[in-house]
Amino acid sequence: MPDLFDKFQPLIDQYEGLMASGMRDPFHLKMEKILSPTRAVVDGREIILVGTYNYMGMTFDPDVIAAGQKALEEFGSGTTGSRVLNGTYQGHAECEAALRDFYDMDHAMVFSTGYQANLGLMSAMAGRGEYIVLDADSHASIYDGCAMGNADIVRFKHNSVEDLAKRLKRIPEDAGKLVVLEGVYSMVGDIAPLKEMVAVAKEAGAMVVVDEAHAMGFFGENGRGVFEAAGVEDQVDFVVGTFSKSVGTVGGFVVSNHPKFDVLRFVCRPYVYTASLPPAVVACAATSIRKLMHAHDKRAHLWAASRKMHAELRAAGFTLGTAEAESAIIAVKMPDQERSAKMWAALIDEGVYVNMVPPQATPGLHLLRCSLCAEHSDAEVDEIIARFKRAAAAAGLPLST
Ligand code: PMP
C-alpha cells in the first residue's frame, strides 16, 4: 500500500536533523504563562517577547478584557453558526460599526480570520476572464485565494512599480483587473510604494486591494495603515485586515466604500460556510479598534523603539532586511540554517524570543524576524539590544563592523 505520507519525507528528515543536533524546537516553543504583551514564561523562565504580532500591545488592555468578559457572560461562549444563518449577533454589528468608524468607510465585513478574508475577497472579486495582479511576495492567504478562484493570475516583481506597470499593459484593456498590494510585508518589514503603485493601477483601470495586516494601528495619523500614510485613501477600493495583530484577538475584515459591497456577504464562501466569531472575540475587537483610533502616544513610542532597535543592531554589525526601520518589524539576516538555529537558541538562552523563519516562508532568506510592541519599555529595548550582542558572541556569529 502506498503511504501517502511518503511525499513529506524530505521535510520530516530536515526537521529530525535539526532536532538531532540537540537544538530546542524553534517551531513549537510552549509559552507556559503570558505575563504581559511583552513577557512570557518558557521552561519556568521569564523571557522577553520580540516576535509577536502584538504591535500595539492591546492583549491585556483592561477595557478590552472587560468587554470580552461581559460578552462571554451575556452572549455565551460561541455563536454555533454562520453569519448568514444564525451567527450574526449584536456584537458582530458593533464590530463592523467600529471598523467603519476607524476607516471612515461606508462598509465593513468581519470574517473569522484574516486568512479567510483574503480567501473570500480574491476568490469572489475576480472571476473567469478577469485578472488578479499581485506582488510576488504576497502573503499565502492571497495566493490561496487566487488558487480558489477562476481569475488569471499575474505576478509582478516585489515592490517594483515599473514591473507592475509593464504587466498591467499586457492585460487586455477592457478586462476586469484587481491589483493586490500589502502595506507592510511581514517577513522583511519593508513597505510598499503605495502612492506610485496605486497611481499605476488606477491608470490601467484596475480596482485596488491593500492588505494592511501589519500596519493597522501603527501607520498614518489615525492608524489606518500605509495607505493612509501614503495619502491614497480615496483611491483604494478595499482594505483587508486582521484582528490577530494590532487589535490583539482573532478575526479578519474587509472595508470598502463601494456601494455594492454588501453583495459579498452572499458570494464569499469563506464568509458563508464557516462559523462566525465568538461574542467575546468581537467585543474585544470592537473595544480595541475604538481605542486604537486614539493611540497616538503608543504609535509614537513604537516608532521610536523600532528606529532605535534598528539603528543599534545595524551599528553592532547585524545585517538587516531594510536599510532603515520601515515598520515595527526588524528582520535580522542569517548566513545559513545552522547559524540561524544557533543564534535563535542563543537568544532563547538570553531570554529573548524572536521568530526563526526558513527560506520557504521568506523571499529566500534565513531570517530571525523581530517585531516590537508599543508596550516594550525603553529599558526593555535596551535590554533586547544588549542580549542580541551577547547571543551573537555565544553563537559565534560574525558581525560586519
Ligand atoms: N495577511 C497578511 C499580510 C498576514 O501576514 C496574515 C497573517 N500573518 C494574514 C493576512 C492572515 O491573518 P490571520 O492571522 O487573521 O488569519
Quick check: is 70 in a domain? yes
Average of per-residue pLDDT across 294-298:
97
Checking if the pLDDT of 203 tops 80, the result is yes
Q: How far is the CA of 118 from the centre of ligand 1 (A)?
A: 9
Q: How far is the CA of 313 from the centre of ligand 1 (A)?
A: 27
- What DSSP state is assigned to residue 317? T
pLDDT in tens, 28-41: 889 999 999 999 99
Average of per-residue pLDDT across 205-210:
98
Q: How far is the CA of 316 from the centre of ligand 1 (A)?
A: 32
Residues 275 and 335 in one domain: no
Checking if the pLDDT of 367 tops 90, the result is yes
Residue 24's pLDDT band (boundaries 50, 70, 90)? confident
Average of per-residue pLDDT across 172-198:
97
Average of per-residue pLDDT across 173-200:
97
Residue 205: CATH number of its domain: 3.40.640.10
Q: What is the pLDDT of residue 23?
A: 78
Average of per-residue pLDDT across 175-196:
97
C-alpha cell at position 176? 476586469
Q: How far is the CA of 373 from the centre of ligand 1 (A)?
A: 17
Quick check: is 24 in a domain? no
C-alpha cell at position 232? 491614497
Residue 119's pLDDT band (boundaries 50, 70, 90)? very high
Q: What is the pLDDT of residue 362?
A: 84
Site to substitute for ligand 1 among 244, 246, 369, most atoms within 8 A of C-beta: 244
Checking if the pLDDT of 273 tops 80, the result is yes
Q: Which of 239, 257, 292 is the last residue of a domain?
A: 292
Q: How far is the CA of 251 from the centre of ligand 1 (A)?
A: 10
Residues 284 and 312 in one domain: no
* DSSP reduced 3-state for 334: strand
d(CA 317, CA 46): 27
Helix 279-292 crosses helix 90-103 at what angle (to 10 degrees)? 20
C-alpha cell at position 124? 469572489
Q: Are strands 152-156 and 33-36 parallel, antiparallel or unpaired?
A: unpaired
- CB contact burial 241-270 (16+ within 10 A = b; e otherwise): bbbbbbbbbbbbbbbbeeeebeebeeebeb
Q: CB of 141 closer than 6 A to ligand 1? A: yes
Q: Which residues contact 83 (CB under 8 A, 6 or more apart)?
A: 92, 110, 265, 271, 272, 276
Residues 44 and 167 in one domain: no
C-alpha cell at position 162? 515599473
Q: How far apart are the first and last CA of the chain?
A: 57
What domain range includes position 93? 62-292
Residue 329: CATH number of its domain: 3.90.1150.10
Q: CB of 112 closer than 6 A to ligand 1? A: no
**What percentage of the chain exceeds 90 in pLDDT?**
93
Q: Which of 292, 321, 344 is the last residue of a domain?
A: 292
Q: CB of 241 closer than 6 A to ligand 1? A: no
Residues 216 and 288 in one domain: yes
Q: CB of 115 closer than 6 A to ligand 1? A: yes
Average of per-residue pLDDT across 315-338:
96
Quick check: is 222 in a domain? yes
* Residue 177 backbone phi and psi in degrees, to 5: -135, 140
* DSSP reduced 3-state for 279: helix
Q: Which of 292, 319, 338 is the last residue of a domain?
A: 292
Checking if the pLDDT of 173 tops 80, the result is yes
Average pLDDT for the chain: 96
Q: What is the pLDDT of residue 401?
A: 63
Residues 51 and 105 in one domain: no
Quick check: is 12 in a domain? no
Q: State the closest ligand 1 atom to the C-alpha of 53, by its place in the atom list counted from 1.
A: 8
Strands (E), 38-130: 39-42, 45-49, 107-111
Residues 234 and 341 in one domain: no
Q: How many distinct structural domains can be found in the chain?
A: 2
Quick check: is 20 in a domain? no
Check: CB of residue 212 under 8 Å from CB of residue 255. no
Q: What is the pLDDT of residue 304?
A: 98
Checking if the pLDDT of 101 tops 90, the result is yes
Q: What is the pLDDT of residue 296?
A: 97
Strands (E), 174-236: 177-182, 207-211
Residue 18's pLDDT band (boundaries 50, 70, 90)? confident
pTM, rounded to two decimals: 0.96
Residues 374 and 310 in one domain: yes
Q: CB of 355 closer than 6 A to ligand 1? A: no
Quick check: is 244 in a domain? yes
Quick check: is 329 in a domain? yes
Quick check: is 276 in a domain? yes
Q: CB of 113 closer than 6 A to ligand 1? A: yes
Q: What is the pLDDT of residue 294?
A: 96
Residues 305 and 268 in one domain: no
Site to substitute for ligand 1 among 141, 158, 284, most atoms within 8 A of C-beta: 141
Q: Which residues contact 352 (CB under 8 A, 6 or more apart)?
A: 47, 48, 50, 384, 387, 388, 391
| Candidate from 12-21, 117-126, 198-207 with smallest mean pLDDT | 12-21
d(CA 12, CA 374): 38
Residues 123 and 157 in one domain: yes
